[in-house]
Amino acid sequence: MDRVQTLAYKGKTIILIDLSHCMPDETIAVVTEAKKVVARQSPKSGLVITDVKGARYTKEVAVAIKDLVSHNTPFLKASTVVGAEGAAATLLQTAIFLTRRELKSLGTREEALEYLASVA
């Protein structure tokens, strides 16, 4: 399964970054690919879901995630995170603070799709 996908949902194009259950090396590879996909978006136009449920974290992963959030900022209109619990929730709050970006944390991918589809 491709971990960075472009989905069509209710007339919107949404990028899914699937980090769920990733081991650290895989997470870093997915982040690298995600940056390329997001960079193809027009400024302030992209819609992204990042699923972090069950992902494993290391210091290197934390740095890569913070870099991804920072890198994506100019390209995104709205962004959601799914599955942020424990270490992921702490990392999410740190990324929000450092980048001053709004990242909406939701419980499921379906909730994230609905939220992003409603963004004007």
Q: What is the mean pLDDT of the segment spanning 20-27?
A: 93
Q: What is the DSSP letter of 42?
A: P
Reply yes or no on whether the pLDDT at 39 is more than 90: yes
Going edge to edge, which strands form the sheet with 4-9? 4-9, 12-18, 46-51, 76-82, 104-106
Which stretch of 30-39, 52-61, 84-93 has the lowest confidence by average pLDDT?
84-93
Q: Give dist(CA 14, CA 49) in Å, integer.
A: 7
Q: What angle do CA 18, 20, 26 make, to 5 degrees?
A: 80
Q: What is the pLDDT of residues 69-97, one digit of tens each?
A: 889 989 999 998 898 776 666 566 665 56
| Domains of the chain and CATH, by start | 4-118 (3.30.750.24)
Mean predicted lDDT score pLDDT of the chain: 87
- pTM of this structure: 0.86
Which amino acid, residue 22?
C
pLDDT at 6: 96
Across 44-63, average pLDDT: 90
C-beta of residue 97 within 8 angstroms of C-beta of residue 66? no
Q: Residue 16: enclosing H or E segment and its boundaries?
A: strand 12-18
